[in-house]
Amino acid sequence: MQEAANQAVEEAYSAAEKWPPMNSAHEAYAVLLEEVDELWDHVKTNQKRRNLSAMRAEAIQVAAMALRFVVDVCDEERGRK
């Protein structure tokens, strides 16, 4: 579990370097939903044909964007612009 958590944190930092902070809960939700939809595509694939490493990568991205949601939107000073 710790390895997956570490990868999610690394992914969140990487995304933060590439993209500015999310401006609103609506924007953060949309980004998170996009990642969940990409994960959903893997989930819908027949279990015997799933690319588990790709599905894991998408799940890590979901976790990373959830972390960005918390940091960018749920902070009292930053989240109430």
Q: Are 29 and 62 in contact (CB under 8 A)?
A: no
Question: Rounded to an integer, what distance in angstroms lies between the CA atom of residue 49 and that of residue 33?
Answer: 24
Average per-residue pLDDT for the chain: 94
pLDDT at 18 over 80: yes
pTM of the predicted protein model: 0.90
Task: Tell me, yes or no, whether 31 lies in a domain.
Answer: yes
Q: Structural domain tally of the chain? A: 1
Task: Tell me, yes or no, whether 78 lies in a domain.
Answer: no
Q: Note the Cα 15 to chain centre separation in Å.
A: 9
Task: Tell me, yes or no, whether 80 lies in a domain.
Answer: no
Q: How many CA atoms lie within 13 A of 11 on its CB side?
A: 19
pLDDT-based confidence at residue 53 (cuts at 50, 70, 90): very high
pLDDT at 78 over 90: no
Least confident of 7-11, 46-50, 59-63: 46-50
Task: Tell me, yes or no, whether 79 lies in a domain.
Answer: no
Q: Which domain holds residue 22?
A: 2-73
pLDDT-based confidence at residue 81 (cuts at 50, 70, 90): low
